[in-house]
Structure 1
Amino acid sequence: MRRLWGRLSSVNVQKAVWGLEELGLPYERVEAGGAFGRVRDPDYVALNPNGLVPVLEEDGFVLWESNAILRYLARGHDRGGLWPEQPQAAALVDQWLDWQATRFTPSTRDAFWQTVRTPPEQRDQAVIDRSVAASEDCAAILDAHLTGRPYAVGDRFTAADIALGAATHRWLHLDVPRIERPALRAWYERIRTRPAAAAALPPLS
């Protein structure tokens, strides 16, 4: 039995759901985190002592951290597809997963929280502006990389596109001014038409 804990409004849960859907793996998703609570309950903390989502349970095996889950799914169920066999290509997928987790998503976090989850009268425009500037730096890097490329690594869709795609979905749907990035936009529009993306990427909330 495979169970994924986490609400779909979480960008990290979206990555795991996208991976599961791409691979056609059966799973049960249990709402947790945010308004659903549960993450401080003793039984959940026993699964993930950080009290965060997502958590994957699979026949007694428990795994947390979204990119670890994505790597596990791709390596274990689609090596050569979502996870390339060639070592250098696989290393590049790792590179972009790490960059998404350490640079791109953190850069958008304050703008997301301020514009989506904070009442208008409590928002701090200076915080938003700093977050947008940092996000634009990351968007420029990704746009330059994707220029002339159909996907993040090589000529086929990989786990890197899932992680970057979920982060880009958040960035492009924030109600903030943005510089238009043609290559980034074209890539995003291409991957978001995938059925698995439609299942994983709801409106921001």
Structure 2
Amino acid sequence: MLKIFGKSLSINVRKVLWLCAEMELTYEHEQWGSGFRSTEAPEFVALNPNAMVPVIKDGSFVLWESNSICRYLASRNGRSDLLPTDPEGRARVEQWMDWQATELNNAWRFAFMALVRKSPAHTDPHVLAASVANWNRHMRMLDAQLEKTGAFAAGHGFTLADVVLGLSTNRWYMTPMERPDLPAVHAYFERLSQRPAFLLHGRNGNP
């Protein structure tokens, strides 16, 4: 039985939950993280020395890092529509997944912590303004890509890239800040919202 460890409000845990719903996988889910059992507990650190969610356990196999988990689950279940097997197709999907994890996440981190989490360590107005501007700049990049494909991040079909970027897009819309009008991103968000699994684990009221 596949086990998922991590609180269901976490954006990274929601990647895994959304993907499992898309693939109709059966799993057990244990809530770990803020408000639940501490990820600093020895039994959790034994699974992930970073003490971060999500973690999965598939039989005796343990894996952490949300994007790696998504790649593993798609490959494990033979879902070449979600993660192509041809090198070029796979690289296109992974390029946008890696961009989300590195470039896009780094752009929004300060703004999200300031405006949504209300973190006392993230109150510098100049750094906040720079983070909002950088976040919007990256979303314009996504808008240009979506305008090019006319559908999804890596092309005409829904892939793992859209699982990670769909959640990031939801966070962008739900953070109280000024945003540019990005028609392709808006159409993309509404397109994703036709998927029941996204409404369950993505556009579900949580940023």
Q: When the two structures are superposed, what TM-score results if normalisation uses the length of structure 1?
A: 0.93
Inter-partner Cα distance in structure 1 for 2:133 and 2:170: 17
Higher relative CO (CA 8 A, sep ≥ 6), structure 1 or 2? 1
Inter-partner Cα distance in structure 2 for 1:137 and 1:90: 26
**Matched position secondary structure for 2:197:** helix
Inter-partner Cα distance in structure 2 for 1:147 and 1:112: 26
Deviation, 1:187, is 0.6
Equivalence map 1:42-81=2 (5 Å):
42-81=42-81
Question: Is residue 2:47 matched to residue 1:35?
Answer: no
- Residue 6 of structure 2 is matched in structure 1 by 6
Deviation, 1:25, is 0.5
Q: When the two structures are superposed, what TM-score results if normalisation uses the length of structure 2?
A: 0.93
**Matched position secondary structure for 1:34:** coil
Contact 1:79/1:85, CA 8 A, preserved across alignment? no
**Matched position secondary structure for 1:4:** strand
- Residue 89 of structure 1 is matched in structure 2 by 89
| Letter of the structure 2 residue corresponding to residue 125 of structure 1 | P
- In structure 2, stretches of 5+ residues that fail to align are none
Equivalence map 1:181-192=2 (5 Å):
181-192=182-193
Contact 1:13/1:66, CA 8 A, preserved across alignment? yes
Inter-partner Cα distance in structure 1 for 2:170 and 2:111: 14
Deviation, 1:35, is 2.1
Deviations 1:80-130 (A, max 9, x none): 21112332111100100100000112211111111111169x843323212
Deviations 1:14-41 (A, max 9, x none): 1111111111101122111122242000
Inter-partner Cα distance in structure 1 for 2:37 and 2:126: 30
**Matched position secondary structure for 1:35:** coil
Deviation, 1:198, is 1.6
CA RMSD, aligned part only?
1.6
Inter-partner Cα distance in structure 1 for 2:119 and 2:106: 21
Inter-partner Cα distance in structure 2 for 1:82 and 1:101: 18
**Matched position secondary structure for 2:29:** strand
Contact 1:32/1:53, CA 8 A, preserved across alignment? yes
Contact 2:113/2:119, CA 8 A, preserved across alignment? no
- Residue 179 of structure 2 is matched in structure 1 by 178
Contact 2:2/2:56, CA 8 A, preserved across alignment? yes
Farther-moved stretch of structure 1 (29-38 vs 155-164): 29-38
- Residue 204 of structure 1 is matched in structure 2 by 206
- Residue 167 of structure 1 is matched in structure 2 by 168
- Residue 22 of structure 1 is matched in structure 2 by 22
| Letter of the structure 1 residue corresponding to residue 158 of structure 2 | F
| Letter of the structure 2 residue corresponding to residue 12 of structure 1 | N
Among the aligned pairs, what percent are the same residue?
A: 41
Inter-partner Cα distance in structure 2 for 1:63 and 1:180: 38
Q: Structure 1 stretches (4+) deviating beyond 3 angstroms?
A: none
Contact 1:89/1:154, CA 8 A, preserved across alignment? no
| Letter of the structure 2 residue corresponding to residue 172 of structure 1 | Y
